Amino acid sequence: MLQLIENAKSNPLKTAIVEEKKSFSYQNLLDRSEEIASFLLNDKSDLEEAPVAFMVSPGFEYVAVQWAIWRAGGIAVPLCITYPLPSLQYVIEDTKASIILVGNEYVETLKVYQEDSSKLFSSTSEIFDQKSKPLPEIEKSRGAMILYTSGTTSLPKGVLTTHSNIESQISTLVNAWEWSSEDYILEILPLHHVHGIINVLCCALWSGATVEFLNQFSAKEVFKIFLQGNLNVFMAVPTIYFKLISEWEKLPKEEQQKLGQAMASFRLMVSGSAALPVSVMEQWKEISGHYLLERYGMTEIGMAVSNPYKGERRAGYIGKPLPGVKLRTVDEDGNLVKVGEAGEIQIKSPSVFKEYWGKPEATSKSFTQDGWFKTGDIAVFEDGYYRILGRDSIDIIKSGGYKISALEIEEVLRKYPEIKDCGVVGIPNEEWGELVVAALVVENEFDTDLLNIWIRERMPAYKTPRKYIFISDLPRNTMGKVTKNELKKLF
Protein backbone atom coordinates (compact mmCIF):
# COMPACT_ATOMS: atom_id res chain seq x y z
CA MET A 1 0.00 0.00 0.00
CA LEU A 2 1.42 3.34 -1.01
CA GLN A 3 0.61 5.84 1.72
CA LEU A 4 0.70 8.85 -0.62
CA ILE A 5 -2.04 7.29 -2.75
CA GLU A 6 -4.08 6.16 0.27
CA ASN A 7 -3.93 9.67 1.76
CA ALA A 8 -5.23 11.13 -1.53
CA LYS A 9 -8.29 8.90 -1.31
CA SER A 10 -9.28 10.39 2.03
CA ASN A 11 -10.01 13.87 0.65
CA PRO A 12 -10.72 13.36 -3.05
CA LEU A 13 -12.45 16.64 -3.83
CA LYS A 14 -9.80 18.89 -2.31
CA THR A 15 -7.66 20.90 -4.77
CA ALA A 16 -4.30 19.17 -5.12
CA ILE A 17 -2.73 21.15 -7.95
CA VAL A 18 -3.02 24.59 -9.43
CA GLU A 19 -1.34 25.13 -12.77
CA GLU A 20 -1.78 28.16 -15.00
CA LYS A 21 -5.07 29.04 -13.27
CA LYS A 22 -6.44 25.49 -13.76
CA SER A 23 -7.20 23.42 -10.64
CA PHE A 24 -7.03 19.66 -10.26
CA SER A 25 -8.45 17.65 -7.35
CA TYR A 26 -6.94 14.63 -5.64
CA GLN A 27 -9.59 12.55 -7.45
CA ASN A 28 -8.32 13.92 -10.80
CA LEU A 29 -4.83 12.78 -9.80
CA LEU A 30 -6.04 9.34 -8.77
CA ASP A 31 -8.00 8.89 -12.02
CA ARG A 32 -5.28 10.14 -14.36
CA SER A 33 -2.53 8.17 -12.62
CA GLU A 34 -4.66 5.02 -12.81
CA GLU A 35 -5.20 5.57 -16.53
CA ILE A 36 -1.46 6.04 -17.18
CA ALA A 37 -0.61 3.08 -14.90
CA SER A 38 -2.96 0.86 -16.92
CA PHE A 39 -1.22 1.99 -20.10
CA LEU A 40 2.22 1.29 -18.61
CA LEU A 41 1.20 -2.19 -17.53
CA ASN A 42 0.12 -3.10 -21.04
CA ASP A 43 -0.20 -6.90 -20.81
CA LYS A 44 1.69 -7.21 -17.52
CA SER A 45 0.25 -7.30 -14.02
CA ASP A 46 3.24 -5.51 -12.42
CA LEU A 47 6.19 -3.54 -13.82
CA GLU A 48 8.35 -5.26 -11.20
CA GLU A 49 10.72 -2.35 -10.58
CA ALA A 50 11.36 -1.53 -14.24
CA PRO A 51 12.85 1.97 -14.50
CA VAL A 52 10.51 4.33 -16.37
CA ALA A 53 12.11 7.57 -17.58
CA PHE A 54 9.80 10.56 -17.97
CA MET A 55 10.25 14.06 -19.28
CA VAL A 56 7.15 16.02 -18.38
CA SER A 57 6.73 19.72 -17.54
CA PRO A 58 6.03 20.59 -13.90
CA GLY A 59 2.31 20.41 -13.16
CA PHE A 60 -0.61 18.01 -12.97
CA GLU A 61 0.63 15.67 -15.71
CA TYR A 62 4.09 15.35 -14.08
CA VAL A 63 2.50 14.21 -10.80
CA ALA A 64 0.05 11.88 -12.56
CA VAL A 65 2.95 10.19 -14.38
CA GLN A 66 5.03 9.88 -11.21
CA TRP A 67 2.11 8.31 -9.32
CA ALA A 68 1.28 6.08 -12.30
CA ILE A 69 4.81 4.64 -12.38
CA TRP A 70 4.63 3.91 -8.65
CA ARG A 71 1.13 2.43 -8.88
CA ALA A 72 2.17 0.16 -11.77
CA GLY A 73 5.19 -1.10 -9.79
CA GLY A 74 7.91 0.76 -11.72
CA ILE A 75 10.81 2.96 -10.65
CA ALA A 76 10.33 6.65 -11.48
CA VAL A 77 13.26 8.29 -13.30
CA PRO A 78 12.46 12.00 -13.77
CA LEU A 79 14.44 13.66 -16.56
CA CYS A 80 15.50 17.28 -16.25
CA ILE A 81 13.47 19.28 -18.79
CA THR A 82 16.34 21.66 -19.57
CA TYR A 83 18.98 19.00 -20.26
CA PRO A 84 20.49 18.78 -23.73
CA LEU A 85 20.24 15.38 -25.43
CA PRO A 86 23.63 13.90 -24.31
CA SER A 87 22.76 14.48 -20.61
CA LEU A 88 19.32 12.89 -21.13
CA GLN A 89 20.84 9.95 -22.99
CA TYR A 90 23.26 9.38 -20.14
CA VAL A 91 20.38 8.91 -17.68
CA ILE A 92 18.29 6.80 -20.05
CA GLU A 93 21.23 4.52 -20.93
CA ASP A 94 22.52 4.29 -17.35
CA THR A 95 19.13 3.27 -15.93
CA LYS A 96 18.44 1.07 -18.99
CA ALA A 97 14.90 2.46 -18.91
CA SER A 98 12.84 0.49 -21.41
CA ILE A 99 9.84 2.80 -21.10
CA ILE A 100 10.03 6.53 -21.82
CA LEU A 101 7.06 8.84 -21.31
CA VAL A 102 7.24 12.43 -22.53
CA GLY A 103 5.07 15.51 -22.62
CA ASN A 104 4.22 16.47 -26.21
CA GLU A 105 6.69 19.36 -26.11
CA TYR A 106 9.61 16.94 -25.55
CA VAL A 107 8.85 14.37 -28.28
CA GLU A 108 11.18 16.21 -30.65
CA THR A 109 14.05 16.36 -28.09
CA LEU A 110 13.93 12.60 -27.52
CA LYS A 111 12.96 11.52 -31.03
CA VAL A 112 16.03 9.25 -31.24
CA TYR A 113 14.10 6.86 -29.01
CA GLN A 114 10.94 6.93 -31.11
CA GLU A 115 12.32 4.42 -33.59
CA ASP A 116 14.07 2.30 -30.97
CA SER A 117 12.12 -0.97 -31.00
CA SER A 118 13.64 -2.07 -27.68
CA LYS A 119 11.79 0.76 -25.89
CA LEU A 120 8.20 1.76 -25.35
CA PHE A 121 8.20 5.48 -26.18
CA SER A 122 5.00 7.46 -25.80
CA SER A 123 3.75 10.98 -25.48
CA THR A 124 1.41 11.33 -22.49
CA SER A 125 -1.09 13.04 -24.79
CA GLU A 126 -1.56 9.68 -26.54
CA ILE A 127 -2.72 8.08 -23.30
CA PHE A 128 -6.48 8.49 -22.97
CA ASP A 129 -9.63 6.33 -22.77
CA GLN A 130 -7.46 3.60 -21.31
CA LYS A 131 -9.30 0.57 -19.93
CA SER A 132 -8.61 0.25 -16.18
CA LYS A 133 -6.49 -2.68 -15.11
CA PRO A 134 -6.06 -4.08 -11.61
CA LEU A 135 -3.00 -2.38 -10.07
CA PRO A 136 -0.42 -4.47 -8.19
CA GLU A 137 0.24 -4.46 -4.45
CA ILE A 138 3.55 -2.69 -3.85
CA GLU A 139 5.94 -3.84 -1.10
CA LYS A 140 7.61 -0.84 0.53
CA SER A 141 11.03 -2.42 0.25
CA ARG A 142 10.83 -2.14 -3.53
CA GLY A 143 12.69 0.50 -5.53
CA ALA A 144 10.70 3.69 -6.16
CA MET A 145 12.88 6.40 -7.65
CA ILE A 146 16.30 7.04 -9.20
CA LEU A 147 17.68 10.60 -9.01
CA TYR A 148 21.04 11.54 -10.51
CA THR A 149 23.59 13.33 -8.39
CA SER A 150 27.12 14.48 -9.10
CA GLY A 151 29.90 13.33 -6.88
CA THR A 152 33.60 12.78 -6.76
CA THR A 153 33.48 10.62 -9.87
CA SER A 154 33.32 12.29 -13.27
CA LEU A 155 29.89 10.93 -14.15
CA PRO A 156 26.71 11.40 -12.13
CA LYS A 157 25.42 8.43 -10.15
CA GLY A 158 21.82 7.26 -9.91
CA VAL A 159 20.57 7.24 -6.32
CA LEU A 160 17.97 4.51 -5.81
CA THR A 161 15.46 5.04 -3.00
CA THR A 162 12.76 2.58 -1.99
CA HIS A 163 9.13 3.40 -1.18
CA SER A 164 9.99 2.97 2.45
CA ASN A 165 12.90 5.48 2.16
CA ILE A 166 10.65 7.99 0.45
CA GLU A 167 7.84 7.56 2.99
CA SER A 168 10.33 8.10 5.77
CA GLN A 169 11.76 11.23 4.06
CA ILE A 170 8.26 12.65 3.67
CA SER A 171 6.76 11.76 7.05
CA THR A 172 9.82 13.09 8.90
CA LEU A 173 9.31 16.54 7.38
CA VAL A 174 5.51 16.48 7.57
CA ASN A 175 5.79 15.96 11.34
CA ALA A 176 8.75 18.25 12.00
CA TRP A 177 7.36 21.21 10.05
CA GLU A 178 3.71 20.58 10.94
CA TRP A 179 2.29 20.18 7.44
CA SER A 180 -1.51 20.04 7.18
CA SER A 181 -4.24 19.98 4.56
CA GLU A 182 -4.67 23.72 5.14
CA ASP A 183 -1.28 24.37 3.56
CA TYR A 184 -0.71 25.91 0.15
CA ILE A 185 2.81 25.94 -1.35
CA LEU A 186 4.44 27.27 -4.51
CA GLU A 187 6.55 24.81 -6.55
CA ILE A 188 9.33 26.60 -8.43
CA LEU A 189 12.13 24.07 -7.99
CA PRO A 190 13.27 21.58 -10.62
CA LEU A 191 11.50 18.23 -10.42
CA HIS A 192 14.52 15.95 -10.82
CA HIS A 193 15.92 16.62 -7.32
CA VAL A 194 14.88 15.83 -3.75
CA HIS A 195 14.20 19.45 -2.77
CA GLY A 196 11.48 19.96 -5.39
CA ILE A 197 10.16 16.38 -5.41
CA ILE A 198 10.12 15.35 -1.76
CA ASN A 199 10.25 18.52 0.37
CA VAL A 200 7.76 20.50 -1.71
CA LEU A 201 5.63 18.21 -3.87
CA CYS A 202 5.36 14.96 -1.93
CA CYS A 203 5.12 16.54 1.53
CA ALA A 204 2.28 18.77 0.33
CA LEU A 205 0.35 16.00 -1.41
CA TRP A 206 0.89 13.54 1.47
CA SER A 207 -0.76 16.14 3.73
CA GLY A 208 -3.73 16.88 1.47
CA ALA A 209 -2.41 20.40 0.83
CA THR A 210 -2.38 22.38 -2.44
CA VAL A 211 0.62 22.86 -4.73
CA GLU A 212 0.70 25.73 -7.23
CA PHE A 213 3.20 25.37 -10.06
CA LEU A 214 5.23 28.13 -11.64
CA ASN A 215 7.00 26.63 -14.61
CA GLN A 216 9.95 28.95 -14.98
CA PHE A 217 11.39 30.80 -12.01
CA SER A 218 11.04 34.56 -12.19
CA ALA A 219 11.21 36.80 -9.12
CA LYS A 220 8.45 39.05 -10.55
CA GLU A 221 6.09 36.10 -11.05
CA VAL A 222 6.81 34.71 -7.59
CA PHE A 223 5.88 38.07 -6.02
CA LYS A 224 2.72 38.26 -8.15
CA ILE A 225 1.67 34.90 -6.72
CA PHE A 226 2.60 35.98 -3.17
CA LEU A 227 0.24 38.95 -3.60
CA GLN A 228 -2.69 36.69 -4.55
CA GLY A 229 -2.75 35.69 -0.89
CA ASN A 230 -3.21 31.91 -1.23
CA LEU A 231 0.25 30.73 -0.18
CA ASN A 232 1.29 30.02 3.37
CA VAL A 233 4.42 27.88 2.82
CA PHE A 234 7.47 28.64 0.65
CA MET A 235 10.69 26.69 0.06
CA ALA A 236 13.67 27.65 -2.06
CA VAL A 237 17.44 27.60 -2.42
CA PRO A 238 19.53 30.58 -1.18
CA THR A 239 20.07 31.84 -4.78
CA ILE A 240 16.30 32.26 -5.14
CA TYR A 241 16.05 34.27 -1.89
CA PHE A 242 18.95 36.40 -3.15
CA LYS A 243 17.11 37.04 -6.45
CA LEU A 244 13.85 37.84 -4.63
CA ILE A 245 15.62 40.34 -2.37
CA SER A 246 17.20 42.04 -5.43
CA GLU A 247 13.78 42.28 -7.09
CA TRP A 248 12.16 43.63 -3.90
CA GLU A 249 14.78 46.37 -3.67
CA LYS A 250 13.73 47.65 -7.10
CA LEU A 251 10.04 47.97 -6.13
CA PRO A 252 8.30 51.20 -5.11
CA LYS A 253 7.62 51.58 -1.36
CA GLU A 254 3.91 50.93 -1.77
CA GLU A 255 4.46 47.56 -3.45
CA GLN A 256 7.07 46.62 -0.89
CA GLN A 257 4.49 47.25 1.82
CA LYS A 258 1.85 45.14 0.08
CA LEU A 259 4.32 42.30 -0.27
CA GLY A 260 5.30 42.64 3.38
CA GLN A 261 1.63 42.25 4.33
CA ALA A 262 1.17 39.24 2.04
CA MET A 263 4.24 37.52 3.46
CA ALA A 264 3.16 38.17 7.04
CA SER A 265 0.45 35.51 6.68
CA PHE A 266 2.88 32.72 5.70
CA ARG A 267 3.43 30.11 8.39
CA LEU A 268 6.76 28.75 7.11
CA MET A 269 9.62 29.74 4.80
CA VAL A 270 12.49 27.29 4.32
CA SER A 271 15.94 27.53 2.75
CA GLY A 272 18.21 24.64 1.84
CA SER A 273 20.36 22.77 -0.71
CA ALA A 274 23.28 25.13 -0.07
CA ALA A 275 24.58 27.31 2.73
CA LEU A 276 22.29 30.25 3.46
CA PRO A 277 24.45 33.37 3.85
CA VAL A 278 23.72 35.15 7.15
CA SER A 279 23.27 38.40 5.17
CA VAL A 280 20.47 36.83 3.09
CA MET A 281 18.76 35.49 6.21
CA GLU A 282 18.90 38.96 7.81
CA GLN A 283 17.69 40.83 4.73
CA TRP A 284 14.85 38.35 4.26
CA LYS A 285 13.79 38.89 7.88
CA GLU A 286 13.73 42.64 7.20
CA ILE A 287 11.47 42.39 4.17
CA SER A 288 9.23 39.46 5.06
CA GLY A 289 9.25 39.36 8.85
CA HIS A 290 10.30 35.68 8.69
CA TYR A 291 13.34 33.93 10.07
CA LEU A 292 14.10 31.42 7.32
CA LEU A 293 14.20 27.85 8.56
CA GLU A 294 17.49 26.44 7.26
CA ARG A 295 17.86 22.69 6.95
CA TYR A 296 20.46 20.29 5.58
CA GLY A 297 19.99 17.28 3.33
CA MET A 298 21.38 15.28 0.47
CA THR A 299 19.96 13.22 -2.40
CA GLU A 300 21.18 10.03 -0.68
CA ILE A 301 19.67 10.75 2.75
CA GLY A 302 16.72 13.12 2.31
CA MET A 303 16.65 15.77 5.03
CA ALA A 304 18.81 15.00 8.05
CA VAL A 305 19.31 18.17 10.07
CA SER A 306 16.98 21.11 10.59
CA ASN A 307 16.52 24.27 12.55
CA PRO A 308 13.37 23.97 14.67
CA TYR A 309 9.88 24.82 13.44
CA LYS A 310 9.24 26.26 16.89
CA GLY A 311 12.28 27.62 18.68
CA GLU A 312 15.49 29.42 17.81
CA ARG A 313 16.45 29.47 14.12
CA ARG A 314 20.13 30.27 14.25
CA ALA A 315 21.70 32.09 11.29
CA GLY A 316 24.65 30.21 9.79
CA TYR A 317 23.61 26.90 11.40
CA ILE A 318 21.73 23.91 10.00
CA GLY A 319 20.21 22.92 13.36
CA LYS A 320 19.83 19.50 14.98
CA PRO A 321 19.21 16.00 13.61
CA LEU A 322 15.56 15.44 12.66
CA PRO A 323 13.64 12.76 14.62
CA GLY A 324 14.67 9.28 13.50
CA VAL A 325 18.05 10.47 12.19
CA LYS A 326 21.24 9.23 13.86
CA LEU A 327 24.15 11.59 13.20
CA ARG A 328 27.80 11.44 14.18
CA THR A 329 30.83 13.51 13.20
CA VAL A 330 34.14 11.72 12.77
CA ASP A 331 37.76 12.52 11.90
CA GLU A 332 39.69 11.02 8.98
CA ASP A 333 40.35 7.82 10.95
CA GLY A 334 36.68 7.39 11.76
CA ASN A 335 37.02 8.45 15.41
CA LEU A 336 34.25 10.56 16.92
CA VAL A 337 35.29 14.21 17.20
CA LYS A 338 34.68 16.31 20.29
CA VAL A 339 32.11 19.11 20.59
CA GLY A 340 33.55 22.18 18.86
CA GLU A 341 35.82 20.14 16.56
CA ALA A 342 35.33 19.65 12.82
CA GLY A 343 34.34 16.22 11.52
CA GLU A 344 32.59 14.51 8.64
CA ILE A 345 28.82 14.09 9.03
CA GLN A 346 27.79 10.44 8.92
CA ILE A 347 24.15 9.36 8.95
CA LYS A 348 21.99 6.36 9.75
CA SER A 349 18.24 6.63 9.20
CA PRO A 350 15.31 4.91 7.47
CA SER A 351 15.48 7.73 4.88
CA VAL A 352 18.95 6.70 3.66
CA PHE A 353 18.95 5.42 0.06
CA LYS A 354 19.33 1.77 -0.94
CA GLU A 355 22.16 1.92 -3.47
CA TYR A 356 23.83 3.72 -6.35
CA TRP A 357 22.13 2.24 -9.39
CA GLY A 358 24.33 -0.42 -10.99
CA LYS A 359 27.38 0.66 -8.96
CA PRO A 360 27.84 -1.78 -6.04
CA GLU A 361 31.42 -0.66 -5.47
CA ALA A 362 30.49 3.01 -5.18
CA THR A 363 27.65 2.02 -2.82
CA SER A 364 29.87 0.04 -0.48
CA LYS A 365 32.55 2.78 -0.52
CA SER A 366 29.99 5.35 0.60
CA PHE A 367 29.15 3.45 3.80
CA THR A 368 31.34 2.57 6.76
CA GLN A 369 31.58 -1.11 7.66
CA ASP A 370 29.02 -0.59 10.40
CA GLY A 371 26.51 1.03 8.07
CA TRP A 372 26.98 4.79 8.46
CA PHE A 373 26.54 6.81 5.25
CA LYS A 374 29.53 9.09 4.67
CA THR A 375 28.19 12.47 3.48
CA GLY A 376 31.54 14.13 2.76
CA ASP A 377 30.23 17.29 4.47
CA ILE A 378 32.34 18.68 7.29
CA ALA A 379 30.52 20.17 10.27
CA VAL A 380 31.04 21.31 13.82
CA PHE A 381 28.65 21.06 16.78
CA GLU A 382 28.43 24.29 18.81
CA ASP A 383 25.93 25.25 21.52
CA GLY A 384 23.52 22.51 20.52
CA TYR A 385 23.46 23.22 16.75
CA TYR A 386 25.47 21.95 13.79
CA ARG A 387 27.27 24.32 11.44
CA ILE A 388 28.58 23.25 8.01
CA LEU A 389 32.22 24.15 7.40
CA GLY A 390 32.64 22.78 3.89
CA ARG A 391 33.18 19.55 1.99
CA ASP A 392 35.94 17.00 1.95
CA SER A 393 36.26 17.28 -1.84
CA ILE A 394 37.18 20.45 -3.69
CA ASP A 395 35.82 18.89 -6.89
CA ILE A 396 32.21 19.23 -5.75
CA ILE A 397 30.73 22.63 -6.49
CA LYS A 398 27.36 23.98 -5.30
CA SER A 399 25.96 26.61 -7.63
CA GLY A 400 22.36 27.86 -7.53
CA GLY A 401 21.63 24.90 -5.22
CA TYR A 402 22.78 22.41 -7.85
CA LYS A 403 25.58 19.99 -7.04
CA ILE A 404 28.12 19.99 -9.85
CA SER A 405 31.20 17.83 -10.38
CA ALA A 406 34.30 19.73 -11.55
CA LEU A 407 35.62 16.45 -12.97
CA GLU A 408 32.54 15.97 -15.13
CA ILE A 409 32.95 19.43 -16.68
CA GLU A 410 36.68 18.89 -17.23
CA GLU A 411 35.96 15.64 -19.02
CA VAL A 412 33.60 17.41 -21.44
CA LEU A 413 35.99 20.36 -21.96
CA ARG A 414 38.85 18.01 -22.80
CA LYS A 415 36.84 16.70 -25.75
CA TYR A 416 36.94 20.17 -27.34
CA PRO A 417 39.59 19.94 -30.07
CA GLU A 418 41.46 23.16 -29.19
CA ILE A 419 41.71 22.45 -25.46
CA LYS A 420 44.92 20.69 -24.43
CA ASP A 421 44.18 20.63 -20.73
CA CYS A 422 41.86 22.27 -18.23
CA GLY A 423 40.99 22.63 -14.58
CA VAL A 424 37.55 23.52 -13.21
CA VAL A 425 36.89 25.01 -9.77
CA GLY A 426 34.09 26.78 -7.89
CA ILE A 427 34.75 30.31 -6.66
CA PRO A 428 32.66 32.05 -3.98
CA ASN A 429 29.81 34.15 -5.31
CA GLU A 430 27.14 36.03 -3.36
CA GLU A 431 24.28 35.19 -5.71
CA TRP A 432 25.06 31.63 -6.82
CA GLY A 433 26.96 30.35 -3.75
CA GLU A 434 29.77 29.29 -6.02
CA LEU A 435 30.45 30.06 -9.67
CA VAL A 436 31.84 27.43 -12.01
CA VAL A 437 35.04 28.71 -13.64
CA ALA A 438 37.65 27.03 -15.83
CA ALA A 439 41.34 27.48 -16.53
CA LEU A 440 42.23 26.39 -20.06
CA VAL A 441 45.51 25.38 -21.64
CA VAL A 442 45.19 26.03 -25.38
CA GLU A 443 47.61 26.19 -28.27
CA ASN A 444 46.21 28.70 -30.74
CA GLU A 445 43.87 31.67 -30.86
CA PHE A 446 40.79 30.74 -28.92
CA ASP A 447 37.18 31.88 -29.23
CA THR A 448 35.25 31.30 -25.98
CA ASP A 449 31.94 32.19 -27.69
CA LEU A 450 32.35 29.16 -29.94
CA LEU A 451 33.24 27.03 -26.94
CA ASN A 452 30.10 28.24 -25.13
CA ILE A 453 27.87 27.27 -28.05
CA TRP A 454 29.55 23.85 -28.23
CA ILE A 455 29.32 23.25 -24.50
CA ARG A 456 25.63 24.24 -24.23
CA GLU A 457 24.82 21.35 -26.57
CA ARG A 458 26.54 18.98 -24.18
CA MET A 459 25.60 20.09 -20.68
CA PRO A 460 22.82 22.04 -18.96
CA ALA A 461 23.22 25.83 -18.51
CA TYR A 462 23.74 25.55 -14.77
CA LYS A 463 26.88 23.43 -15.21
CA THR A 464 28.60 25.59 -17.83
CA PRO A 465 31.64 27.63 -16.78
CA ARG A 466 30.90 31.34 -16.25
CA LYS A 467 34.47 32.52 -16.64
CA TYR A 468 37.59 31.26 -18.42
CA ILE A 469 41.23 32.11 -17.90
CA PHE A 470 44.08 30.97 -20.12
CA ILE A 471 47.29 29.59 -18.62
CA SER A 472 50.31 27.85 -20.06
CA ASP A 473 50.23 25.03 -17.50
CA LEU A 474 48.00 23.95 -14.65
CA PRO A 475 49.52 24.25 -11.16
CA ARG A 476 50.55 20.75 -9.99
CA ASN A 477 52.10 19.15 -6.90
CA THR A 478 55.18 16.94 -6.99
CA MET A 479 52.98 13.93 -7.80
CA GLY A 480 51.69 15.74 -10.90
CA LYS A 481 48.19 16.21 -9.46
CA VAL A 482 46.49 19.53 -10.21
CA THR A 483 46.44 21.66 -7.07
CA LYS A 484 42.94 23.08 -7.15
CA ASN A 485 43.50 25.45 -4.24
CA GLU A 486 46.31 27.09 -6.21
CA LEU A 487 44.11 27.16 -9.27
CA LYS A 488 41.34 28.90 -7.32
CA LYS A 489 43.76 31.67 -6.36
CA LEU A 490 44.31 32.46 -10.06
CA PHE A 491 40.68 33.60 -10.29
**Interacting residues toward ligand MCA by CB under 6 A:** 189-190, 193-196, 217, 237, 239-240, 272-273, 297-299, 399-402, 432, 435, 461-462, 466
For 437, residues 6+ apart whose C-beta sits below 8 A from its C-beta are 424, 425, 426, 427, 465, 466, 467, 468, 469, 491
Residue 416 contact, options ligand AMP, ligand MCA, none, Cβ 5-8 Å cut-off depending on partner type: none
Residue 399 contact, options ligand AMP, ligand MCA, none, Cβ 5-8 Å cut-off depending on partner type: ligand MCA
Smaller CB separation from ligand MCA, 96 or 456? 456
| Burial of 310 per CB tally in 10 Å (0-12, 13-18, 19+) | exposed
* Nearest-approach distance from CB 3 to ligand AMP, in angstroms: 23
* Nearest-approach distance from CB 322 to ligand MCA, in angstroms: 12
Smaller CB separation from ligand AMP, 435 or 439? 435
For 277, 351, 363, the CA distances from 343, given in Å and listed in that order, are 21, 22, 21
* Nearest-approach distance from CB 149 to ligand AMP, in angstroms: 4
* Nearest-approach distance from CB 314 to ligand AMP, in angstroms: 12
For 44, 54, 480, the CA distances from 191, given in Å and listed in that order, are 28, 11, 40
Cβ neighbour number for residue 188 with a 10 Å cutoff: 23
Smaller CB separation from ligand AMP, 194 or 380? 194
Residue 426 contact, options ligand AMP, ligand MCA, none, Cβ 5-8 Å cut-off depending on partner type: none
| Burial of 408 per CB tally in 10 Å (0-12, 13-18, 19+) | buried
- Amino acid of residue 79: L
* Nearest-approach distance from CB 100 to ligand MCA, in angstroms: 23
Smaller CB separation from ligand MCA, 28 or 171? 171
- Residue 423 has phi, psi (to 5 degrees) of -140, 130
**C-alpha closest to that of 376 among 435, 339, 330, 307:** 330
Smaller CB separation from ligand MCA, 336 or 389? 389
By the criterion CB under 6 A, which residues form the site for ligand AMP? Answer: 149, 194, 272-275, 294, 296-299, 318, 375, 377, 388, 391, 398, 403
Give the N- to C-terminal CA distance of the chain in Å, as an integer: 54
* Nearest-approach distance from CB 425 to ligand MCA, in angstroms: 14
- What radius of gyration, in Å, describes the C-alpha atoms of the chain? 23
Smaller CB separation from ligand MCA, 278 or 461? 461
**Sign of the C-alpha dihedral computed for residues 285, 287, 289 and 295 taken in this order:** negative
Residue 318 contact, options ligand MCA, ligand AMP, none, Cβ 5-8 Å cut-off depending on partner type: ligand AMP
